[in-house]
């Protein structure tokens, strides 16, 4: 990956000759365990010899030597390490007749996850349901370590973080609930905690998020160009407030500096801002961001972060009780690259937490900020176990339709799903049919007639002749809290979908 020469020179100048680590290496941190190799880097004297030693107690378990670059940057790829700790890491610089040293203490090796997105990722543990209980339990998980980058933006790609809100820390009630939309992210924390409870080894969590921000701000210019977006095509609706909207400014300042770190994967909670900005480009911009992050993190970590690392995300929940338009369901659909489920051909090695049933009309932070982040994180962690860790027999997404059988004579639609169904209620407003040209659809609600095993039978009295389209939960607020009609036997909600007879081979008309 090409990095601008001026940027490197400016950072090298600011770093000076003092031997030090890059900003996000500190005591109490977690480094990525094997089979990947963790990467360490920092600043020193140009062309100085640098030695890195990893100690457990008083025993040296690893020693690496490297020479600092002309730009005063040194970088070391450690030997792959097993999970566990604590370790100390000593770095010594030999320059002319001087020797200087720096040290990291209480370092563990485990899995490191990056958490990013907008305000629903920013919401802290103190803002969610059962906050007092969650904060009181923080000290029970000393091997889940947390870090939060400060809010920052830049017109150019930065080599290091400009500032840090929470340096690597052992979790406490204070640093998990430090102010509203501060630190630490509830979704990120709970996701890591659930992983730790299953995996039983250290988890490192790096949060870098900013409320009210669109996907374009988190995307590199390369990724945006793939979707036809450039400097000449910027337009930001005046209704959008909060975080920055300019293209690439958060990628430059809050993501690009992390490229040299080795990560296990990413979890992402974003999309609300794009219900009012480039909504129908999200089926391109979001997959393009994932692909670009994968490519650049792999390259920045000298190949240690997997080229197709696992990427999990939260499908949008709800906002208003009164429907305004269909921008929320359209974003939900586009979050899957218009497949309705993940992984898929355009989004391999991804996992999704469906959240449309976690509405919270009484949230003091606005209904766009539902407080049940435990369910969000639990559903995310199921996806991680299945996709990132290859755990067998883990179901992480609710039932999705495999076939639509139209009985025109009896005016019945039978929708067959890929899993057994638990029907919560016979809601007559969640399924809708189109009776006309798909380009000119006027959608009509139809009632659930019966349901058994994997099939839902719908009574079609809306279309006198033919059915051309079917959709499910295609509204901003499709159901009350955890009361959508369809779930699987593991209580995971069926995701929304839209399907048309003319372009879907799974439709059968009789």
Neighbours of 18 (CB within 10 A): 13
Delimit the domains of the chain by residue range. 5-34+46-105, 109-388, 401-509
User: What's the CATH fold of domain 401-509?
Assistant: Immunoglobulin-like (2.60.40)
- How many distinct helices (H) and strands (E) make up the chain? 10, 24
Strands 49-56 and 84-95: antiparallel
Q: What angle do CA 45, 21, 203 make, to 5 degrees?
A: 155
Q: Which fold has domain 109-388?
A: Rossmann fold (3.40.50)
Tokens standing for 299? 């390259």
pTM assigned to the model: 0.94
Q: Per-residue confidence of the chain (510 residues) as pLDDT tens digits?
A: 444 434 444 444 444 468 999 999 999 999 999 999 999 999 999 989 999 999 999 899 999 999 888 779 999 999 999 999 999 999 999 998 899 999 999 999 999 999 999 999 999 999 999 999 999 999 999 999 999 999 999 999 999 999 999 999 999 999 999 999 999 999 999 999 999 999 999 999 999 999 999 999 999 999 999 999 987 656 565 455 579 999 999 999 999 999 999 999 999 999 999 999 999 999 999 999 999 999 999 999 999 999 999 999 999 999 976 567 899 999 999 999 999 999 999 999 999 999 999 999 999 999 999 999 999 999 999 999 999 999 999 999 999 999 999 988 878 999 999 999 999 888 778 999 999 888 889 999 999 999 989 999 999 888 888 899 999 999 999 999 999 999 999 999 999 999 998 878 888 876
CB 434 within 8 A of CB 443: yes
Q: What's the DSSP call for residue 495?
A: P
Q: How many CB atoms lie within 10 A of CB 97?
A: 5
- Say how many C-beta atoms besides its own lie within 10 A of residue 4's C-beta: 11
Distances in Å between the Cα of 298 and the Cα atoms of 29, 303, 389, 449, 466 are 21, 5, 19, 51, 51
d(CA 312, CA 269): 9
CA dihedral 2, 66, 262, 161 (to 10 degrees): -60
């Amino acid at each position: 990956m090409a990095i601008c020469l001026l940027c490197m020179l400016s950072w090298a100048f600011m770093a000076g000759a003092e031997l030090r680590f890059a900003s996000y290496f500190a005591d109490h941190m977690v480094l990525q365990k094997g089979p990947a190799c963790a990467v360490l880097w920092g600043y020193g004297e140009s062309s100085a010899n640098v030695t890195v030693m990893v100690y457990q107690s008083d025993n040296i378990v690893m020693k690496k030597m490297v020479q600092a670059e002309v730009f005063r940057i040194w970088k070391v790829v450690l030997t792959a390490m097993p999970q566990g700790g604590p370790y100390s890491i000593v770095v010594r610089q030999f320059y002319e007749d001087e020797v200087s040293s720096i040290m990291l203490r209480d370092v563990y090796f485990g899995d490191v996850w990056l958490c990013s997105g907008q305000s629903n990722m920013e919401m802290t543990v103190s803002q969610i349901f059962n906050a007092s209980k969650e904060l009181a339990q923080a000290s029970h998980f000393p091997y889940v370590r947390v870090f939060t980058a400060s809010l920052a933006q830049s017109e150019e790609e930065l080599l290091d973080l400009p500032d840090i809100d929470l340096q690597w820390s052992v979790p406490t009630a204070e640093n998990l609930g430090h102010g509203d939309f501060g630190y630490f992210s509830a979704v990120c924390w709970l996701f890591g905690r659930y992983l730790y409870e299953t995996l039983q080894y250290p988890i490192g969590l790096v949060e870098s998020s900013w409320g009210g921000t669109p996907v374009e701000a988190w995307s590199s210019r390369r990724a945006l160009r793939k979707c036809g977006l450039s400097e000449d095509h910027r337009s930001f609706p005046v209704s959008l407030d909060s975080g920055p909207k300019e293209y690439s400014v958060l990628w430059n300042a809050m993501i690009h500096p992390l490229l040299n770190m080795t990560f296990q994967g990413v979890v992402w909670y974003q999309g609300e801002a794009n219900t009012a900005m480039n909504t129908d480009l999200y089926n391109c911009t979001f997959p393009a961001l994932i692909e670009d992050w994968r490519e650049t993190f792999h390259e920045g970590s000298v190949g240690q972060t997997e080229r197709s690392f696992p990427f999990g995300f939260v499908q949008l929940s709800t906002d208003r009780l009164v429907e305004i338009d269909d921008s929320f369901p359209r974003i939900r659909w586009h979050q899957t690259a218009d497949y309705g489920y993940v992984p898929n051909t355009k989004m391999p090695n991804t996992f999704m937490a469906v959240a449309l049933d976690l509405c919270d009309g009484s949230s003091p932070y606005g209904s766009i900020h539902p407080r049940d982040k435990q369910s969000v994180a639990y559903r995310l962690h199921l996806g991680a176990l299945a996709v990132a860790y290859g755990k067998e027999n883990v179901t992480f997404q609710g039932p999705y339709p495999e076939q639509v059988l139209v009985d025109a004579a009896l005016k019945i639609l039978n929708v067959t799903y890929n899993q057994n169904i638990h029907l919560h209620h016979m809601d007559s407003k969640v399924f809708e049919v189109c009776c006309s040209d798909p380009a000119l659809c006027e959608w009509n609600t139809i009632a659930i007639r019966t349901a058994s095993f994997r099939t839902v039978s719908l009574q079609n009295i809306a279309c006198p002749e033919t059915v051309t389209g079917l959709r499910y939960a295609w509204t901003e607020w499709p159901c009350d809290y955890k009361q959508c009609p369809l779930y699987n036997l593991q209580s995971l909600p069926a995701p929304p979908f839209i399907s048309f007879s003319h372009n879907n081979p799974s439709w059968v008309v009789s």
